[in-house]
Amino acid sequence: MVIIYHEHNKPIEIQDTEGRNIRFDENAYMSVVLFEIAEKYPEETLVWCHIACKSNLNTSALPTITANKRELQSFSAGEWNYLGEAIGYVDESVFIKVNKGVKYPTWQMSSLVGAVQASILLSVKAQIHPSENFDYVLNSLAKRCMSQGVFCYSNPELIKGNMEVAHVKANAYELFRFVKQHYKAIWVFLLFMNLLVYNKRMPFLPCIYALFFRRRKDLKLENRSLQLDNQEPNVKRDSVDVIIPTIGRKNCLYDVLCDLREQTCIPEKIIIVEQNPKEGSESALDYLETADWPFKIKHMFTHQTGACYARNWALEQVDSEWVFMADDDIRLKTEFIEEAFQIIKQHTFNVFTFACHSPEDINDLKNQKQWETFGSGCSIVNANIIKNCSFDMGYEHGFGEDADFGMQLRNIGEDILYVPKPSISHLKAPRGGFRTVFKQQRHDDLIQPKPSPTVMLFKLKHQTRTQLLGYKTTLFFKYYKQQPIKNPLKYLKNFKKQWDRSVYWAEELRSLN
């Protein structure tokens, strides 16, 4: 391990783990020195730390914190990172509102303190142009590596005690340049518009300045930088329960059970929540009793409909170490569970979302990577970590409960790994015969909410103020073509009413939990 102490862009002191000083070019920028040290120590973990935080660096815990060689992590104790809250006008992802109290997935890096494996830097060196701004280089590196399987985090365990250090913040020119180089060009103009409308700022010159830069592509990493975790995986044995909520898909569910019966790694238990809203109705799943199954089946029947209710009830019945959250219209290869556990044993993750798509679809995502959402019908999760999590009933009969569940996991310090293979085939079967569209109370409003209140609920719970306002701007333009009011002023007035109504109903839904 090599530790580089710096004062913003200027390296001050470099030491190895034995405290021996390492020579370096004192006139070089910090980002340049970082890559030079990586060349000299290609097998080491490189740590950077602001000189004012030297006593706060958690050196005793660094070997454990940096044990995963696929991670790039840093920490900034302030509320905002280098790019500030304005980046929310451009980026709606879950990586913007960082929970500083836990190890949280994000590409937003800080020069205050951080760590990375030297081999990762070396594998992308030819594609990186180190500049005088260390924070800019770190954020660009993480943003472009994340999609390639480098796991990026904000990690408070890197420091100990309280720190009072002035954080580096991007100026308007750096912000607009970053947006131009890492997002589509249209976002430069949307950023300008949002700053003008919501912040009463008119950064005209930074906007023009950014247009002279080209967009940067995702970095291509060599396989040697993506070695598997060297920590012990969280698997004691290949023990998994499967939960399946179902309604009106008797034949589809039977096919799923047959696929599970033929697995090379048989599940311990299948937990089925069958729903039928018709009073006096009984179970239609006669084959649960008449057919032979190599696993236990816990069958529960209810007249109450809703995926959130069904999944929460099923999760209470889980006994195995792992739980496979499945749908009633998927198909699985015989080796799916066996291959899934092979993947699980290669990592220290507790949450895995597997590729799930229609048989005719082509899956373009080839890399394992940190996932922005969560698949409630295609994920395998360590049962121990979800004991205090549940599907928010505010999303019942709506959309977004799976994304919300994923945010609950991130906010307790877990991360979600997307796995392209083995994949799940999703048939997207039509609704069952007695499925009906649930009529919400808000459907009778004279002013219909826009966006959907469940979409608004997620944004109010899990996004920043600027993310919410940025979404409001893009929705304003997208929705204009789909609605009948073509007078811009009348449309704006009506849009504001619909938006306010959505906020109202979202707050009502929030109170349900």
Tell me: the pLDDT tens digits for 257-297?
999 999 999 999 999 999 999 988 999 999 999 999 999 99
Whether residues 401 and 309 share a domain: the answer is yes
Q: Do residues 454 and 393 share a domain?
A: no
Q: Which residues pair with 377 in a beta bridge?
A: none
pLDDT confidence bin for 130, thresholds 50/70/90: confident
How far apart are alpha carbons 363 and 44 in whole angstroms? Answer: 35
Which comes out higher in pLDDT, residue 9 or 354? 354
pLDDT at residue 231, rounded to an integer = 59
C-alpha 336/C-alpha 352 separation (Å) is 13
In angstroms, rounded to a whole number, what is the distance separating the alpha carbons of residues 430 and 426? 12
Give mean pLDDT, residues 350-371.
88
In a domain? residue 181 = no
Same domain, yes or no: 71 and 159 = yes
The mean pLDDT of 24-44, rounded to a whole number, is 92
Mean pLDDT, residues 342-355 taken together? 94
Domain stop point among 124, 146, 169:
169
Of 167-181, 214-228, 416-430, which range is least confident? 214-228
- Which segment of 145-159, 304-318, 435-449, 454-468 scores lowest on mean pLDDT? 435-449
**432, pLDDT greater than 60:** no
Q: Same domain for 420 and 454?
A: no
The answer to whether position 404 is within a domain reads: yes
Question: Could you tell me which residues come within 8 angstroms of residue 441 by beta carbon, excluding any fewer than 6 positions away?
Answer: none
Provide the mean pLDDT of the chain: 91
- Would residue 230 count as lying in a domain? no
Dihedral angle at the C-alpha atoms of 274, 275, 281, 282, nearest 10 degrees? 10
pLDDT, position 17: 78
- State the chain's maximal CA–CA distance in angstroms: 81
pLDDT for the residue 232: 65
The mean pLDDT value for 235-256 works out to 92
Say if residues 274 and 282 touch (Cβ distance below 8 Å).
no
346 and 460 in a single domain? The answer is no
pLDDT at 233 > cutoff 80: no
Rounded to whole angstroms, the Cα distance separating 132 from 148 reads 25
pLDDT reading at 435 higher than 70:
no
> Region 333-350: what's the mean pLDDT?
95
Residue 266 near residue 294, CB atoms below 8 Å: yes
* 422-445: average pLDDT: 70
Report the b/e string of 225-256 with b at 16+ CB within 10 A.
bbeebeeebbbeebbbbbbbbbbbbbebbebb
What is the count of structural domains for the chain?
Answer: 3
Cβ atoms of residues 22 and 37 within 8 Å: yes
374/448 same-domain check: no
Characterize the bridge pairing of strands 378-382 and 351-357.
Answer: antiparallel
- Across the range 473-490, mean pLDDT stands at 94
Among 211, 198, 233, smallest CA distance to 85 is for 198
When pLDDT is averaged across residues 436-442 and rounded to a whole number, the result is 62
Tell me the residue range of the domain where 160 lies: 2-169
Residue 407 and residue 261 share a domain: yes
How many other C-beta atoms can be found within 10 angstroms of the C-beta atom of residue 372?
14
pLDDT above 70 (res 226): no
Q: Taking residues 104-121, what's their average pLDDT?
A: 95
- The answer to whether the CB of 337 falls within 8 A of the CB of 315 is no
Q: Are strands 10-16 and 2-7 parallel, antiparallel or unpaired?
A: antiparallel
Q: Is residue 421 part of a domain?
A: yes
| 92 and 159, same domain (yes or no) | yes
pLDDT band with cut points at 50, 70 and 90 for residue 225: very low
Q: What is the pLDDT of residue 359?
A: 81
Half-sphere exposure of 130 (CA within 13 A, CB side): 16
- Whether 373 and 400 have beta carbons less than 8 Å apart is answered as no
Average pLDDT estimate for 494-499: 96
Percentage above 70 pLDDT, the chain: 94
User: Residues 373, 95: contact at Cβ < 8 Å?
Assistant: no
Count Cβ atoms below 10 Å from residue 220 Cβ, excluding itself: 12
DSSP 8-state symbol, 216: P
Clarify whether residues 411 and 491 are in a common domain: no
pLDDT at 26: 87
Domain end (from 375, 392, 426): 426
Domain assignment present for residue 129? The answer is yes
Residue 186 identity (one-letter amino acid) = I
- The reply to whether 501 falls in a domain is yes
Co-location of 395 and 247 in the same domain? yes
Instruction: Confirm whether 43 is domain-assigned.
Output: yes
* Residue 225 within any structural domain of the chain: no
- Condensed to tens digits (0 to 9), the pLDDT of residues 176-203 reads 999 999 999 999 999 999 999 999 999 9
Confidence of residue 30 (pLDDT cuts 50, 70, 90): very high
Residue 391: CATH number of its domain:
3.90.550.10
Same domain flag for 490 and 375: no
Indicate whether 363 pLDDT > 80.
no
Query: In terms of domains, do 297 and 405 share one?
Result: yes
Q: CA–CA separation, 483 vs 493, rounded Å? A: 13
- Return the axis-axis angle of helices 30-40 and 134-145, rounded to nearest 10°: 60
Distance CA 505, CA 183 (A): 33
Portion of the chain with pLDDT greater than 90, in percent: 78
Among the three residues 169, 194, 229, which one is the final residue of a domain in this structure? 169
Query: What band does 412 get if pLDDT is binned at 50, 70 and 90?
Result: very high
Q: Higher pLDDT residue, 284 or 443? A: 284
